[in-house]
Amino acid sequence: DAGVIQSPRHEVTEMGQEVTLRCKPISGHDYLFWYRQTMMRGLELLIYFNNNVPIDDSGMPEDRFSAKMPNASFSTLKIQPSEPRDSAVYFCASSLESLWVNTGELFFGEGSRLTVL
Amino acid sequence: KQEVTQIPAALSVPEGENLVLNCSFTDSAIYNLQWFRQDPGKGLTSLLLIQSSQREQTSGRLNASLDKSSGRSTLYIAASQPGDSATYLCAVCSSGTYKYIFGTGTRLKVLA
């Protein structure tokens, strides 16, 4: 399997611009997570989905952030408008949880490094 | 609300030393606990996963233990090597929520 795939790997944008980060989870995984990592706050869970349905978005910092999962193989995290304090590495992770495969192991993508000037 | 703490924040040891990294969590109602490794500028790589019903897991030179009642897990690295230098993070998945909460990590440097 190709693992969790994220794009872009690096994004530099100016304050006020819209940013869209993309994620393709591991095929067959039913949970998808978006995390943000900064030096100050470490890894923070933003939102997670189960079978394409958002389950908990309590970590989304503001209304400027939104996430969607239109199908089992694709998710987006959008920031509009972006601000310098949004600069961070954004990670997507996926896992499989079912009655038959009871592991819950998290697999991470390589991350998208966002810089907002 | 689950809180995860890792001690020490940084550790520097000579090659060959056995070492222990600590992870503590406030809510013992967990589903599982996972240890990760992160190299600079990279994503997280899963090292060991311990289910709530298990006490420990081993992989090569790594051994992770779990004591739910005391809210603690340890990662034991035997015969450390310079290639083990990285940040090690633990993540706790709370029962009923399926949310993985991460500790702040331990930055390990193994000196040749």
Task: Name residues whose C-beta falls within 8 Å of residue B84's C-beta, 6 or more positions apart in sequence.
Answer: B77, B108, B110
Residue A31 DSSP label: E
CA atoms within a 13 Å half-sphere pointing along the CA-CB vector of A112: 25
Whether the CB of A49 is below 8 Å from some CB of chain B: the reply is no
A74, burial (CB in 10 Å: exposed 0-12, middle 13-18, buried 19+)? middle
Whether the CB of A43 is below 8 Å from some CB of chain B: the reply is yes
Q: Which two tokens stand for residue B27?
A: 């809510």
Chain B partners of A34 at a C-beta cutoff of 8 Å?
none
The span from the CA of B85 to the CA of B88, in Å, is 9
Q: How far is A109 from chain B (nearest CA, A)?
A: 6
Mark B53-91 as b/e (b = at least 16 C-beta within 10 Å). Answer: eeeebeeeebbbbbebeebbbbbebeebeeebbbbbbbb
Residue B84 DSSP label: G
* Percent of chain A at pLDDT exceeding 90: 83
What does each of the 112 residues of chain B score in pLDDT, given as a tens digit? 899 999 999 999 999 999 999 999 999 999 889 999 999 988 999 999 998 889 999 999 999 999 999 999 999 999 999 999 999 999 999 887 778 999 999 999 999 9
Interface contact A45-B51, CB threshold 8 A: no
Residue A97 DSSP label: B
CB-based contact B103:B48 (threshold 8 Å): no
> Mapping DSSP to helix (H, G, I), strand (E, B) and coil, where does residue B52 land?
coil
Task: Name residues whose C-beta falls within 8 Å of residue B41's C-beta, 6 or more positions apart in sequence.
Answer: none
Given a cut of 60, whether residue A28 has pLDDT beyond it is yes
Q: What is the pLDDT of residue A42?
A: 92
The span from the CA of B78 to the CA of B111, in Å, is 15
Q: What pLDDT, in 10s, does the model give residues A64-114?
A: 999 999 999 999 999 999 999 999 999 999 998 765 455 678 899 999 999
Residue B35 pairs in a beta bridge with B48, B90
Q: What is the pLDDT of residue A98?
A: 61
Q: What is the pLDDT of residue A33?
A: 96
Q: How far is A107 from chain B (nearest CA, A)?
A: 7
The span from the CA of B6 to the CA of B30, in Å, is 17
Q: Which two tokens stand for residue B33?
A: 């606990």
